[in-house]
Amino acid sequence: MKMVLLSRLYSAGHMLLEGKLDMKECFTDNPWEAIDEIRQAECILIGNQRFDRALFNEAVSLRILAKQGSGTDNIDLEAAADKGITVVTSPGANAKTVAEHVMMLILAASRNLHMYDKNVRRGNFGIRSSCNESGLYGKQIGLIGYGRIGKEVALYSRAFGMNVSVYDPYVKDADGISCCKDLDELCTASDIISIHVPRTPDTVGMISAEVISKMKNGAVLVNCSRGGIVDENALYDALRSGKLHAAGIDVFANEPASANNPLFSLDNIVVTPHSAALTKETADAMSIVTAEGILKAIQER
């Protein structure tokens, strides 16, 4: 079987497939740049590239589409089903690692880590007495979404002595954690808000200017879920005005994010390159789950 890799399959999973598939690396953020290879591929591995119906129509030999990750918002699942194409992902393999990244961003944003680092490197040791940072103990953290990652963030947050509440219309019992009746209730009560929902037509633009206006003055917003859920223009305005103390953002509406993104001009935001799931350990785990899923799909077809 010919397999085209539009994204890197990490080493542990790659080793599982060596000698079993004819693998060709065509790394690109734009699948159309590898369209000739896509037309011949029976199996394709993607990362965050968009694979829409037009691409499925061109992929005339495709039998299996695999993604090293759990989200499927970049895959037209309806088109895949129409074409009889098996979609393989690695759900759950990265939950703990993403939750760790969330906590890192919460701490960095709340304690102004990036500004400390920048100023100390410039010789401004006096910034230590600015006392503009915020601790976590006793604070209220609101989780929008309570799936695998949300549950891990709740666990870690409790270890920091934080109070946890959840808004998730699909969850009735959040392990004894307070469930908010709607998004407004969570926003008005939370010192820190962390987003853990998939990107769907219902969640795109979910964190709008109106929603942000209902957040506490000086709140911290963290998003390690998907870009487009937060209105970036509204977030920029809230950070620039001081409505929000800070934000920690791992995902963007357009990726790769442009260096000209207005958010990057602000000092009260910590950003990472959609890397919350990508530790060495988790990369290997996701690659193994993905490779095993590919082999299973081959056997079942």
| Residues taking part in catalysis | 226, 255, 274
Query: How far is Cα 270 from Cα 221, in angstroms, rounded to an integer?
Result: 11
Residue type at 113 in one-letter notation: L
- Which residues face 168 on adjacent strands? none
Report the DSSP beta bridge partners of residue 165.
142, 178
Q: How far is CA 211 from CA 140, 231, 254, in A?
A: 17, 10, 21
Which residues partner with 192 through β-bridges? 141, 220
**3-state secondary structure (DSSP) of residue 45:** strand
| Nearest-angstrom CA–CA distance, 143 and 183 | 10
CA distance 28 to 23: 15
- Token pair 């906590």 is found at 103
Of 185, 206, 190, residue with least CA distance to 253: 206
- b/e code 148-173 from CB counts within 10 Å (16+ = b): bbbbbbbebbeeeebbbbbbbeebee
HSE-CB at 183 with a 13 A cutoff on CA atoms is 14
**What phi and psi, each to the nearest 5 degrees, are found at residue 189?**
-100, -15
